[in-house]
Structure 1
Amino acid sequence: MILVVDDDLQMLGFLREVLEKDGYEVEAFNEPYQALRFCGQEVPNLIISEVRMAEMSGFDFLHTYRTRHAARKTPFVFLSALSRPEQISRGLDKGADDYLTKPIDPGLLCAKVRSHLRQANAFGLRVTRGNLHQLPFTALIRQCERSGLTGILEVFGEDIDVSLPFVAGRLDEASVSDEVLEQLLGLQQGRFAIISVPVAAATITVPEENAESFELSPEEEDLFRALPEPEELGGPAEAPFQLPASELPVEGIATLPDPPPPLSLPLVSAVAPPAEGTDPGVAAPGGMLSGLEVGGKLFQVQTEIIEGIPRRIVTVATYRGKALVKRDRECPRWQNREELQRQMAEQHEKVESEVRCRVERFIAAGRTAAGQPYRPTFDELFQQGRDRAAAGDLARALTLWEEAAHLEPGNALLLRNLELVRAKLAAS
C-alpha cells in the first residue's frame, strides 16, 4: 500500500489514478496529521509526500513519521514543486530516500516506485499482516518467537497502538509495561503487522524446536503421519516435507488417503510480458498470516512471495512450529500487484480449506491413540489461562499457567503473566 500526502487535491487525484492504474493500493491524504493518524493503524509500503504544505511541512511530516515508527524503514519519497538544487539537497539530507520534482511523467513516477519497493524487498524488509480474531495475541507472540523475528510486531486496536520490538525471536520485555501487556492479552479484535528485517534472503522459515523440549502427543504424532503432502499438479517437482526420524510412520498404523489435491489454476496476466532483456520486477505485496482452529488445535497459515527466478508464491501451514502442508507456485514477474494479491489470497484460502478438511477427516476417523491420556500443549494451556484471566477467574488462570510453566519454564512472557496474576490475587 502506498501512502500519498499532498494538500493539492488535484495532484492527489492524479497520483492516485497513476498508481492505481499500475496496480497499487493507494491511500491519499491532503492533511499530514490525518496521514500520521492513519499510520498509527496501518503500515504503508512506501510514502510519497509534498514538501510545502500549509498544515505541516513535508520535512516535519517525515521527521514525525520516522520518530514514531523508526523500525519500519519505510521508503519515503518527496514529490514537490520546490525544485532548486539546494531544496532537493535539503530534502535528501533530512532523510528522504528520493526527491522528485513536479510536474512528473507518470511512467517515471511508477518506475521510481517500483525501484524503491524492489530495493526494500532486496534488503529483506517485509510486512506480514493479519487479524487478531483469526490469530490470538498469545499465538501471534509464539509465531514471532518461532520464526526468529528480528523487527517489530505492531498491534492495532480500537484504543491501542503498540510496537513490540523483537531480536532473534526474543521480545524486548523492557519495552512493554504491565498495563499494556494486560491490555494486549485481553484483545479480542484488532489488526497486526509483522515488520521483519531478516539477515538472510526473505523466506518462510519453519524452525524446529529443541528435540528435548518439544514432544508431540500420541494423537498429534498420528496426525502428522496421516497427513502426508499430496503431489502438486503442474510445475517442477519439489522434495516433500520430511518428518524427523522419530516421527516416521510405524507398522500397524494405517494412514488416511489424501484428499484430491487442489486444482492448479493457470496463471493469467492482464499486462504484456516484458521485452527481452528487461525486468520490470513489480514489487511484491506484503505477506499474509492467519490462525485456523480445528478440533481444539491452532494451526498457523502463512503466505509470502519469495523473490528469485522464477518468483514464487509459497504458503506453509504449521502446528506448534512444525510444517504440516506446504504449497508453492510460480508467478510471472510482470504481473501487477492486484493479480499477485489475488493469487496470494486464493492460495492462502485453499491451504486453510485443505488443512481444515484433512484434520476434520482425521478426527472423524477416530484416530486418537487408544488408552493414551490427552496432554494439553503449552500453547493450549497459555491460551486457556488467558481466557480464564479475561473472564475474571484468576485462580484458574494461575493454575493453568503454572502447569504451562512446567512445560516451558523459561518462557519470558509466561513468567510476566504469572507475576501479574499472583500480584492481583495477593491484593484481592
Structure 2
Amino acid sequence: MSVLTEPPEMHTNILIVEDDMAIREMMAFSLKREGFDPIKAASGNEALEQLNQVHPDLIVVDWGLPDMSGIDLIDMIRRDEVVKEVPIIMLTARSEEHDKIKGLERGADDYLTKPASMLELMARIRAHLRRSKGFETSHKLSFQDIVMDASAHEVTVNESGVSLSLTEYKLLKLFLQNPNKLLAREHILNHVWGRNTIVEDRTVDVHVLRLRKALKPHERDKWIQTVRGIGYKLATA
C-alpha cells in the first residue's frame, strides 16, 4: 500500500456559467447541498477568468450570455489544452431540436432546457462525473506492473507499495494517463500545478527526480525518461 505524505484533493468543483443571478444562486445552493463545490460566473469572460484559476470537474453553461454565446464559450473550452476534456452541460431556454443538435455538435456533452428541474440537473451532473476521469467504474490506471488505484489513493509496483507525496502522485497519474507519450514541461506544469500557478520549469525537474527516487527501490526509476530540452515520458525503452 502506498502512503501519501499530503492529503489528496477530494473537492468536486462545478463551474456554473449563468447570467441570471437567481438561477445561478439556486444552482449553487443545490450543488452545495449535494456536496459539490460550486464556482460561479455571470459571463463568458468571467468563466474564462475562473478557468485560469481552477480546473473544474464539470461545467454548466447557459446558451445566452451577455458577452458571448454559450456555444462560443464551449468552442474556446474545447480548444484549451488543459480543460478541453471537462464534461459540459448546456442549460438554455432554446427547446428546438436543431438547437439541441447544434449544442451537442459544438462540444456540449448534454443539454437541458429551462426551466430545468434541479433534481434532474443533479442527476445528470452525477452521471457525467461517473463517466469522467475521476469517477470511472474502474479507478485504476496502470503501465506494465505500475498500478494506481485512484479510489484508494494507492500505488503499487509488482504489488509492492510505493510511498509518494501528493505532487509526486499527481505527476505519476499524468504519466500513467499518457504512457509512451512525450510530455513537455509546460504541459506537466499546467496539469499538475495549474495553469495560473507561478512555478518554474525547474520545479518539474525536481519533482521528477523525487518520483524517480520513490520508484528506484522497485527498479522502475529509469521508466521516467528525459527527452532533453523538451520534457519527459513514461516508457520502458
Give the TM-score, by structure 2 length: 0.61
2: CA distance, partners of 1:102 / 1:321: 55
2: CA distance, partners of 1:52 / 1:92: 16
Match of 2:105 among 93, 109, 112: 93
Q: Does 1:183 align with 2:200?
A: yes
Tell me the equivalent position of 1:117. 129
Q: CA RMSD in A?
A: 4.0
2: CA distance, partners of 1:117 / 1:35: 20
Tell me the equivalent position of 1:9. 21
SS in 1 for 2:79: helix
Tell me the equivalent position of 2:179. 168
Task: Note if contact 1:149-1:170 (Cα within 8 Å) is conserved in structure 2.
Answer: no
Segments of structure 1 that go 5 or more residues without pairing to the other structure are 129-133, 151-166, 177-181, 188-290, 292-296, 301-317, 324-378, 380-407, 418-428
- Write out per-residue CA displacement over residues 64-90 of structure 1, whole angstroms, 9 at most, x where no aligned residue: 001013774211110111222222222
Shift of 1:411: 3.5
SS in 2 for 1:68: coil
Map residues 67-216 of structure 1 onto 2, 5 A cutoff. Answer: 67-69=79-81, 72-120=84-132, 121-122=135-136, 143=172, 148-150=175-177, 167-168=178-179, 170-173=181-184, 183-186=200-203
Match of 1:65 among 77, 84, 95: 77
Map residues 392-411 of structure 1 onto 2, 5 A cutoff. Answer: 411=225
1: CA distance, partners of 2:26 / 2:224: 55
Identity %: 24
Task: Note if contact 1:51-1:59 (Cα within 8 Å) is conserved in structure 2.
Answer: yes
Task: Note if contact 1:3-1:28 (Cα within 8 Å) is conserved in structure 2.
Answer: yes
Report the count of equivalent residues: 179
Task: Note if contact 2:16-2:41 (Cα within 8 Å) is conserved in structure 1.
Answer: yes
Match of 1:416 among 224, 229, 232: 229
Segments of structure 2 that go 5 or more residues without pairing to the other structure are 1-12, 141-149, 151-164, 188-198, 231-237
SS in 1 for 2:121: helix
Q: Is the radius of gyration larger for structure 1 or structure 2?
A: 1
Tell me the equivalent position of 1:43. 55
Letter in 1 for 2:109: D
Distance of aligned partners of 1:87 and 1:74 in 2 relative to their CA distance in 1, 3 Å threshold: same
SS in 2 for 1:90: helix
Shift of 1:3: 0.7
Distance of aligned partners of 1:7 and 1:172 in 2 relative to their CA distance in 1, 3 Å threshold: same
1: CA distance, partners of 2:105 / 2:214: 47
SS in 2 for 1:33: helix
Shift of 1:16: 0.4
- Write out per-residue CA displacement over residues 116-159 of structure 1, whole angstroms, 9 at most, x where no aligned residue: 11122337699x8xxxxx767xx579735xx8523xxxxxxxxx
SS in 2 for 1:3: strand
1: CA distance, partners of 2:138 / 2:52: 23
Give the TM-score, by structure 1 length: 0.36
